[in-house]
Chain A
């Protein structure tokens, strides 16, 4: 079983639409990261959420950490073709902070012009 399940796995939408990606687990984490990865490149950190219930905004992207720190969501408003990519959530499962990140199953987003 996967430690971090993301949904949906794939999403194809038209430019201007809104979307939400979910990252769920049965475990509690001290923090959670969201990354975006483009083909042929490494993942790029978008945000780190730390506090239960925390909401962070990055332009048209809104990230929320669940109150119980078991899940997170990423909402994109008015999606643009430049948002296309693989979105990954990640956690460090060790409480001591080993940085041995475990990645979610991924959500592949395609935004059509």
Chain B
């Protein structure tokens, strides 16, 4: 079945550094991928929609310069947390769907980011 892979699964970085998270669709192409953020014991919050070959669209309240999204191919989207701070520590999850009609969303296993 369709699989979405995220890398890394966890990362620890120092405050002020940038971190890149990759989201890959392994056996299907995805023109659109989605990035979510999840705080401990809370639900998923949609951050942005990643569009292959064009700019990402961000949800209200999400800083586009803070969370840089690049969707350079039909199987890869990256989320870069720039100048990370402890408040950026969270669980980041991506999702993608195949191009065929009525294809469901598939979620990656998430990336746990801890900023010290």
Question: Chain A interface (Cβ within 8 Å of chain B)?
Answer: 33, 40-45, 48, 88, 98-106, 108
> A99-B32, A99-B97, A101-B34 given as contacts; is B43 within 8 A of A41 (CB)?
no
Give me 6 other A-B pairs in contact (C-beta within 8 A), A101-B34, A102-B46, A105-B43 excluded.
A33-B104, A41-B109, A43-B93, A99-B34, A100-B49, A101-B46
Report whether A45 and B41 are in contact in the complex, using a CB–CB cutoff of 8 Å. no
Q: B85-116: which residues lie under 8 A (CB-CB) from chain A?
A: 93, 95, 97, 104-105, 107-110, 112
| B42 lies within 8 A of chain A by Cβ | yes
Q: Which residues of A contact B49 (CB under 8 A)?
A: 98, 100
Q: Which of B32, B97, B107 contacts A43 (CB 8 A)?
A: B107
Interface size counted on chain B using CB atoms at 8 A: 23
Across the two chains, which residue of chain B brings its CB closest to A105?
B43
Closest beta carbon of chain A to B107's beta carbon, Å: 4
| B72 lies within 8 A of chain A by Cβ | no
Across the two chains, which residue of chain A brings its CB closest to B104?
A45
> A100-B34, A100-B46, A100-B49 given as contacts; is B41 within 8 A of A40 (CB)?
no
Interface of B (DSSP majority class) = strand
The docked-state distance in angstroms from the alpha carbon of A44 to that of B110 is 12
| B44 lies within 8 A of chain A by Cβ | yes
Q: Which A-B residue pairs are the 8 nearest by beta carbons?
A: A42-B107, A106-B43, A103-B44, A103-B43, A42-B109, A42-B93, A41-B109, A42-B110
> A45-B104, A48-B104 given as contacts; is B43 within 8 A of A104 (CB)?
yes
Q: B2-50: which residues lie under 8 A (CB-CB) from chain A?
A: 4, 6, 9, 32, 34, 36, 41-46, 49
